[in-house]
Amino acid sequence: MAIDLSMPILVVDDYSTMVRIIRNLLKQLGFEDVDDASDGSAALNKLREKRYGLVISDWNMEPMTGYELLKEVRGDPSLARTPFIMVTAESKTENVIAAKKAGVNNYIVKPFNAQTLKTKIEAVFAD
């Protein structure tokens, strides 16, 4: 299935360098409409203002984590179907299981490259 390269994507990470890296990787893959938020609550505000085709969120952030953001998104009927990819430096099995139970569409462990990101995005939209 061809992925819509014009869909808006929201990158959520409290580390500006990581936001820039993900932004650059998305640009390499052909995505142009990329917004960012520095934590879960800022992301939630943006999600309520604009329809995003995909959320790529870090797990570890303050004051609202990516995991808490995921649970909020899945609990909101207007946002519940938004594709969500979790990014983390920790590959703890219990984190992956918790994210899956909360409804994450895919999971990326840092560090990763454009090919990994492309594969994960393609997997989300293959369903």
Token look-up 């984190």 returns 95
| 116/122 Cα distance (integer angstroms) | 10
The CB-side HSE value for 109 (13 A sphere, CA atoms) comes to 6
> What CATH number is given for 9-125 in this structure?
3.40.50.2300
pLDDT at 1 over 60: no
* Domain spans of the chain, in order of start: 9-125
What value does the CA radius of gyration of the chain take, rounded to a whole number of Å? 13
Examine the pLDDT at 94 and tell me if it is beyond 80: yes
User: Measured between alpha carbons, how far is 72 from 62 in angstroms, rounded to an integer?
Assistant: 15
Tokens of 8: 């808006």
Record the pTM.
Answer: 0.96
3-51 pLDDT, tens per residue? 999 999 999 999 999 999 999 999 999 999 999 999 999 999 999 999 9
Rounded to an integer, what is the distance from CA 100 to the centroid of its chain?
13
Percent of the chain clearing pLDDT 90 (strictly above): 90
pLDDT of residue 60: 93
Name the more confident of 92 and 127: 92
Predicted confidence (pLDDT) at residue 127 exceeds the cutoff of 70: no
- Rounded to whole angstroms, the Cα distance separating 73 from 54 reads 12
